[in-house]
Structure formats: structure tokens, C-alpha cells
Amino acid sequence: MAEKLSIINCQLSIIQTMAIGKKSALGRGLDALITMDDLTTGGSSSISEIELSKIAPNPDQPRTVFEEEALEELATSIRSLGVIQPITLKEIGPEKYMIISGERRYRASLKAGLERIPAYIKTAEDENVVEMALIENIQREDLNSIEIALAYQKLIDNYGLTQERLSERVGKKRATIANYLRLLKLPAEIQMGLKDKKIDMGHARALIPVDDPEVQLALYEQILADGLSVRTVEELVRTVHENTAPTDKKENKTASRQKLPEEYNMLKEHLSRFFKTKVQLTYNDKGKGKIAIPFASEEELERLIGLLDNLK
């Protein structure tokens, strides 16, 4: 038996090696099929063929987005080769099972028209199986940043974990976990942009130090409009902080009490749209103030100068 398993593993390694360097008709499906990163838990387990109709997804599954194209590729692979790597299930009732890991393979098997799927069955009582399923899924690199952040937050809320304890459980640095959790403080529109891969985590992290959600959203729109790099966004954020930092405590205290009239707000919004950057406008009770147009690079400055030249 051991010799047969060794031969099978050798054959799979050869198939995987041949797939590297060129895109086969199976696309990325083969890699997904032969992944060996299923969750290992304590207690006994067995492998069986389970009817798909008896399987239910894990309600605590961190991943909320399953790309249809990738699922179709995996379904094509399954039709051709079958499900090579079993999924892992938890028995939750008489002939009822919950997915611990392998939901993509489960969904693709449904698309492929399979009635049964090979699965490891978790038979030992394990109160932490849901927690372990969350942790296993967090380790997957194809989760987006918001899904990971929500999974971390769910573990903290459901199991009363501190960030320090959570870092031990998932094998991540505490600072890494804190960075993910901070993403949940961003406006919903930015979180959706991160989830939809309109921006990456570097952009989102650069926006976190900005206190004003309106400024965050304005910078986010500028990232989308101009394709700004993370470095440029970081410089813009520094510029915003410099322009809003108090230079004279008395003047700043007066200005903070002085609310901008509606026409000033309209002017500021109009200038921000025109220059495609967050224009800062401040004034004091004597009517004195300033307009600041931030830029983060020489290229950005040239763009602003070009707009001003056109006004002539």
C-alpha cells in the first residue's frame, strides 16, 4: 500500500512539474485539485465517498467571493481527473456534514455534476472545529484582505482571544493582525474597493492614518482616477497632515472653532474635483485663511501646473 501511495505521489509531482511554465487546458484547476493544505485536527478521522446533498458549507467560512471562472476551470479538471484531494468534513448529525476545508472543490464538484465526493470525516468530538476551520482558511493566500480581517475579528469576538493569543493560534505576528484589523475602520466604500481588488492592502494601509473619512474617500477616488502608487499615496497623506498641522496654536484654536460657511465648503469641493486632489481651505474669524493644493511628486506638480496654465 505504501509503495502504491509513493507511486501516486510521484506521478502527481510529475504532472505538477509539467504544468509549470505553460498554461494547460486545465488552467489553474490542477493546482487547486492537488493542494495538500487541508486542515489537520486532533482526534480520529476516516475517508469516505459522501453524497454532495448531505454536505453543507461552513457558515463561518471566511471566503465570501468564489470567482466563477476559476470554479469553471476547477469543474473542468474534476470532470477530467476527478477530485484528487479529499475535502475535510465534520459530522454534525445523522448523515449530515459541514465543510471544514475544501469548499471550492465542493462547489466545483456540484458544477461538474458529481453526486459524491471523497472526504475525510472528522468523527471525534471537537468543540473547537469551527475555530480551527477559520484558522485553516486564514492561512490560504487567496483570501482577500477584508476576508482575512473579518475572520480575525470573528475569532476575537467568538472566542474571546486577544491579539497576542490570536497571533499564537494562527502563526502570524501581532503587528500583522493589528494591520488587518485596522482595515475594518476604513469607510465601507474603501473596504469594498479592497475586496474587489480595485486597490491593494498597501493603499488601504496608507489611508488609515487619515482621521477624516471624507479625506480618505477623496484620496481613494484619486487613487482610482490616477492609478497612484502606494508610495505616492503615502506622500499625499503626509502632505495632508502637514497642511492641517497647527503652526500657530492660537490661530489654530480659533480656526478649529470657526466652521466653514456653506459657500466655502462648495468652493473647496469644486476645487478638489477640478484638481483631483483634496484641496484644504481654512480661515479664521477675521476672514483670513489659506487654500492648499497638495501634491506628492514632481509629476503630480506638473499636472497641477498644467491645469493652472489651461485656466489662462
3-class DSSP state of 34: coil
- What positions carry a catalytic annotation? 103
- With b meaning 16 or more CB within 10 Å and e meaning fewer, what string describes 182-203? ebeebeeebbebbbeeebebeb
CA distance linking residue 184 with residue 147, whole number of Å: 10
Strand partners for 45: 122
* Cβ atoms of 29 and 23 closer than 8 Å: no
Instruction: Provide the CA 155 distance to its chain's centre, in angstroms.
Output: 16
**What is the secondary structure of 89-154 as a DSSP string?**
EEEEETTEEEEEE-HHHHHHHHHHT-SEEEEEEE-S--TTHHHHHHHHHHT-TTS-HHHHHHHHHH
Contacting residues for 98 by C-beta, under 8 A, at least 6 apart: 55, 56, 57, 58, 89, 90, 92
